[in-house]
Amino acid sequence: MNYTIRILKNGECDVRDYITYTNGGEETSLFYMYICVIEGGEKLMLVDTGPRDVESFNKGVSKYIPGGIRQQPYERTPQLLKNAGIDTADISHVFITHLHADHYEYFDLFPNAQMVVNKKGFLESLLGIKSNVMQALARRWPHSLRLAEDEEIMPGIKTFWLGCHSVCSQGIAIQTKLGTTVFTGDVVYKYRNIEENIPIGWADADECRNAMQRIRNYADIVIPSHDPELLKRFPDGIIGA
Protein backbone atom coordinates (compact mmCIF):
# COMPACT_ATOMS: atom_id res chain seq x y z
CA MET A 1 0.00 0.00 0.00
CA ASN A 2 1.46 3.32 -1.09
CA TYR A 3 0.23 6.66 0.20
CA THR A 4 0.75 10.25 -0.89
CA ILE A 5 1.61 12.93 1.66
CA ARG A 6 0.51 16.53 1.27
CA ILE A 7 2.39 19.13 3.35
CA LEU A 8 0.47 22.19 4.57
CA LYS A 9 2.22 25.13 6.23
CA ASN A 10 0.40 26.04 9.42
CA GLY A 11 2.41 29.06 10.59
CA GLU A 12 5.93 30.00 11.58
CA CYS A 13 8.04 31.22 14.50
CA ASP A 14 11.61 31.97 15.55
CA VAL A 15 13.14 29.55 18.05
CA ARG A 16 16.31 29.95 20.08
CA ASP A 17 19.16 27.66 19.09
CA TYR A 18 19.52 26.19 22.57
CA ILE A 19 16.16 24.51 21.90
CA THR A 20 16.98 23.41 18.37
CA TYR A 21 20.47 22.04 19.02
CA THR A 22 22.32 20.71 22.02
CA ASN A 23 24.84 23.34 23.13
CA GLY A 24 23.04 25.94 21.00
CA GLY A 25 23.06 29.61 21.93
CA GLU A 26 20.60 32.50 22.20
CA GLU A 27 20.39 33.08 18.45
CA THR A 28 17.17 32.12 16.70
CA SER A 29 16.28 30.33 13.48
CA LEU A 30 13.05 30.14 11.53
CA PHE A 31 10.65 27.26 12.20
CA TYR A 32 7.65 26.37 10.06
CA MET A 33 4.60 24.70 11.56
CA TYR A 34 3.12 21.87 9.49
CA ILE A 35 0.14 19.62 9.34
CA CYS A 36 0.24 16.83 6.77
CA VAL A 37 -2.51 15.01 4.92
CA ILE A 38 -2.17 11.30 4.15
CA GLU A 39 -3.97 10.41 0.94
CA GLY A 40 -4.52 7.09 -0.80
CA GLY A 41 -6.40 5.13 1.83
CA GLU A 42 -10.14 4.62 2.17
CA LYS A 43 -10.35 8.07 3.78
CA LEU A 44 -8.03 10.98 4.40
CA MET A 45 -5.80 10.99 7.48
CA LEU A 46 -3.66 13.63 9.17
CA VAL A 47 -0.38 13.86 11.00
CA ASP A 48 -0.74 16.45 13.79
CA THR A 49 -3.35 19.20 14.01
CA GLY A 50 -1.58 22.47 14.67
CA PRO A 51 -2.23 24.77 17.66
CA ARG A 52 -5.72 25.88 18.70
CA ASP A 53 -5.13 28.45 21.46
CA VAL A 54 -2.15 30.26 19.93
CA GLU A 55 -2.25 33.15 22.40
CA SER A 56 -1.90 30.88 25.45
CA PHE A 57 0.78 28.81 23.74
CA ASN A 58 2.79 31.92 22.93
CA LYS A 59 2.64 33.15 26.52
CA GLY A 60 4.05 29.86 27.75
CA VAL A 61 6.98 29.76 25.34
CA SER A 62 7.88 33.45 25.13
CA LYS A 63 11.35 32.96 26.61
CA TYR A 64 12.56 30.64 23.86
CA ILE A 65 10.14 31.46 21.03
CA PRO A 66 10.33 35.27 21.01
CA GLY A 67 7.31 36.72 19.31
CA GLY A 68 5.55 33.34 19.38
CA ILE A 69 3.79 31.56 16.56
CA ARG A 70 2.74 33.76 13.66
CA GLN A 71 -0.20 32.62 11.56
CA GLN A 72 -1.93 34.26 8.66
CA PRO A 73 -5.71 33.75 8.84
CA TYR A 74 -5.51 31.23 6.01
CA GLU A 75 -2.89 29.21 7.94
CA ARG A 76 -5.17 28.48 10.89
CA THR A 77 -6.08 24.80 10.77
CA PRO A 78 -9.81 25.10 9.92
CA GLN A 79 -9.25 27.54 7.06
CA LEU A 80 -6.11 25.78 5.89
CA LEU A 81 -7.96 22.50 5.43
CA LYS A 82 -10.99 24.20 3.90
CA ASN A 83 -8.79 25.91 1.33
CA ALA A 84 -7.22 22.52 0.56
CA GLY A 85 -10.67 21.11 -0.20
CA ILE A 86 -10.76 18.92 2.91
CA ASP A 87 -13.89 18.40 5.01
CA THR A 88 -12.80 17.81 8.60
CA ALA A 89 -15.62 15.27 8.98
CA ASP A 90 -13.92 13.11 6.33
CA ILE A 91 -10.73 12.57 8.36
CA SER A 92 -10.61 9.00 9.71
CA HIS A 93 -7.37 9.11 11.74
CA VAL A 94 -5.17 11.78 13.27
CA PHE A 95 -1.66 10.54 14.05
CA ILE A 96 -0.10 12.57 16.87
CA THR A 97 3.68 12.75 16.91
CA HIS A 98 3.60 13.90 20.55
CA LEU A 99 1.31 15.56 23.04
CA HIS A 100 2.49 19.16 22.95
CA ALA A 101 -0.24 21.68 22.23
CA ASP A 102 1.06 22.88 18.87
CA HIS A 103 0.82 19.31 17.58
CA TYR A 104 -2.45 17.93 18.93
CA GLU A 105 -4.63 20.71 20.36
CA TYR A 106 -7.05 20.93 17.41
CA PHE A 107 -8.10 17.28 17.56
CA ASP A 108 -11.66 18.29 18.47
CA LEU A 109 -12.01 19.76 14.96
CA PHE A 110 -12.33 16.22 13.54
CA PRO A 111 -15.66 14.72 14.67
CA ASN A 112 -15.12 11.27 13.15
CA ALA A 113 -11.39 10.79 13.60
CA GLN A 114 -9.51 8.35 15.78
CA MET A 115 -6.48 9.75 17.60
CA VAL A 116 -3.43 7.51 17.20
CA VAL A 117 -1.03 8.36 20.00
CA ASN A 118 1.80 6.57 21.79
CA LYS A 119 0.41 4.37 24.54
CA LYS A 120 3.12 4.94 27.13
CA GLY A 121 3.18 8.67 26.55
CA PHE A 122 -0.59 9.09 26.61
CA LEU A 123 -0.97 7.33 29.93
CA GLU A 124 1.87 9.29 31.51
CA SER A 125 0.60 12.61 30.07
CA LEU A 126 -3.08 12.03 30.79
CA LEU A 127 -3.56 14.71 33.43
CA GLY A 128 -2.05 17.38 31.21
CA ILE A 129 -4.11 16.78 28.08
CA LYS A 130 -6.25 19.74 27.03
CA SER A 131 -9.86 19.59 28.20
CA ASN A 132 -11.32 20.18 24.72
CA VAL A 133 -9.39 17.17 23.45
CA MET A 134 -10.47 14.97 26.35
CA GLN A 135 -14.09 15.97 25.74
CA ALA A 136 -13.76 15.10 22.06
CA LEU A 137 -12.31 11.70 22.98
CA ALA A 138 -15.07 11.07 25.53
CA ARG A 139 -17.87 11.81 23.06
CA ARG A 140 -16.94 8.83 20.87
CA TRP A 141 -15.20 6.59 23.37
CA PRO A 142 -13.66 4.06 22.83
CA HIS A 143 -13.46 4.37 19.02
CA SER A 144 -11.91 7.83 19.36
CA LEU A 145 -8.54 6.62 20.66
CA ARG A 146 -5.90 4.12 19.63
CA LEU A 147 -2.98 3.70 21.99
CA ALA A 148 -0.13 2.75 19.69
CA GLU A 149 3.04 0.82 20.37
CA ASP A 150 5.67 -0.43 17.91
CA GLU A 151 3.16 -1.85 15.45
CA GLU A 152 1.46 -1.67 12.09
CA ILE A 153 -1.63 0.51 12.45
CA MET A 154 -2.90 -0.33 8.98
CA PRO A 155 -1.27 -1.63 5.81
CA GLY A 156 1.65 0.66 4.96
CA ILE A 157 1.60 2.70 8.19
CA LYS A 158 3.61 1.85 11.31
CA THR A 159 4.27 3.61 14.59
CA PHE A 160 7.33 3.26 16.81
CA TRP A 161 8.37 4.86 20.08
CA LEU A 162 11.12 7.48 20.08
CA GLY A 163 11.22 9.31 23.41
CA CYS A 164 13.94 11.99 23.45
CA HIS A 165 11.84 15.14 23.12
CA SER A 166 9.05 13.74 25.31
CA VAL A 167 7.93 10.40 26.66
CA CYS A 168 5.03 10.48 24.18
CA SER A 169 7.16 11.08 21.07
CA GLN A 170 6.57 8.49 18.36
CA GLY A 171 7.73 8.03 14.80
CA ILE A 172 5.17 7.45 12.07
CA ALA A 173 6.42 5.46 9.08
CA ILE A 174 4.33 5.70 5.94
CA GLN A 175 4.92 3.77 2.74
CA THR A 176 5.00 5.88 -0.43
CA LYS A 177 6.19 5.36 -4.01
CA LEU A 178 9.46 7.01 -2.99
CA GLY A 179 9.98 4.61 -0.08
CA THR A 180 9.24 4.80 3.62
CA THR A 181 8.61 8.34 4.82
CA VAL A 182 9.03 8.95 8.55
CA PHE A 183 7.47 11.75 10.55
CA THR A 184 9.88 12.46 13.39
CA GLY A 185 7.93 14.92 15.49
CA ASP A 186 10.13 17.17 17.58
CA VAL A 187 12.84 14.53 17.95
CA VAL A 188 14.17 16.10 14.75
CA TYR A 189 13.34 19.78 14.39
CA LYS A 190 15.52 20.32 11.35
CA TYR A 191 17.40 18.24 8.80
CA ARG A 192 20.65 19.34 10.41
CA ASN A 193 19.72 17.41 13.57
CA ILE A 194 19.60 14.04 11.85
CA GLU A 195 22.02 14.65 8.97
CA GLU A 196 24.78 15.91 11.28
CA ASN A 197 23.71 13.79 14.28
CA ILE A 198 23.14 16.85 16.48
CA PRO A 199 20.57 16.17 19.21
CA ILE A 200 17.93 18.73 20.01
CA GLY A 201 18.34 20.88 23.10
CA TRP A 202 16.68 20.34 26.49
CA ALA A 203 16.76 16.56 26.10
CA ASP A 204 19.02 13.63 26.91
CA ALA A 205 21.58 13.66 24.09
CA ASP A 206 22.20 9.90 24.08
CA GLU A 207 18.48 9.11 24.05
CA CYS A 208 18.06 11.51 21.14
CA ARG A 209 20.90 9.91 19.18
CA ASN A 210 19.32 6.52 19.76
CA ALA A 211 15.95 7.87 18.61
CA MET A 212 17.50 9.32 15.46
CA GLN A 213 19.09 5.97 14.69
CA ARG A 214 15.68 4.30 14.97
CA ILE A 215 14.37 6.86 12.50
CA ARG A 216 17.23 6.08 10.10
CA ASN A 217 16.48 2.37 10.41
CA TYR A 218 13.00 2.95 8.99
CA ALA A 219 13.35 5.99 6.76
CA ASP A 220 14.06 6.53 3.11
CA ILE A 221 12.65 10.04 3.53
CA VAL A 222 12.66 12.04 6.76
CA ILE A 223 10.10 14.73 7.58
CA PRO A 224 11.46 16.96 10.36
CA SER A 225 8.80 18.71 12.39
CA HIS A 226 9.68 22.35 11.72
CA ASP A 227 12.27 22.80 8.98
CA PRO A 228 11.49 25.32 6.19
CA GLU A 229 13.91 23.25 4.11
CA LEU A 230 11.17 20.64 3.77
CA LEU A 231 9.33 22.83 1.26
CA LYS A 232 12.56 23.43 -0.64
CA ARG A 233 13.17 19.71 -1.01
CA PHE A 234 9.49 19.15 -1.90
CA PRO A 235 8.50 22.51 -3.40
CA ASP A 236 5.05 21.38 -4.51
CA GLY A 237 4.35 20.11 -0.99
CA ILE A 238 3.75 16.57 -2.22
CA ILE A 239 5.63 13.38 -1.35
CA GLY A 240 5.00 10.17 -3.24
CA ALA A 241 2.50 11.20 -5.91
pLDDT tens digits, one per residue of 123-135:
999 999 999 999 9
Domain boundaries, the chain: 4-235
The predicted model gives 219-238 an average pLDDT of 98
pLDDT category, 220, cuts 50, 70, 90?
very high
% of the chain beyond a pLDDT of 90 = 100
Question: How much is the pTM?
Answer: 0.98
From edge to edge, which strands make up the β-sheet containing 145-148? 145-148, 114-118, 91-95, 44-47, 28-39, 4-16, 238-239
The predicted model gives 212-219 an average pLDDT of 98
The predicted model gives 72-101 an average pLDDT of 98
Alpha helices in the chain (DSSP H): 17-20, 54-60, 77-83, 101-104, 119-125, 131-139, 191-195, 205-218, 230-233
For position 231, what pLDDT does the model report? 98
For position 80, what pLDDT does the model report? 98
Task: Return the CATH fold of 4-235.
Answer: Metallo-beta-lactamase; Chain A (3.60.15)
Number of residues assigned to the chain: 241
Task: Give pLDDT tens digits for 172-203.
Answer: 999 999 999 999 999 999 999 999 999 999 99
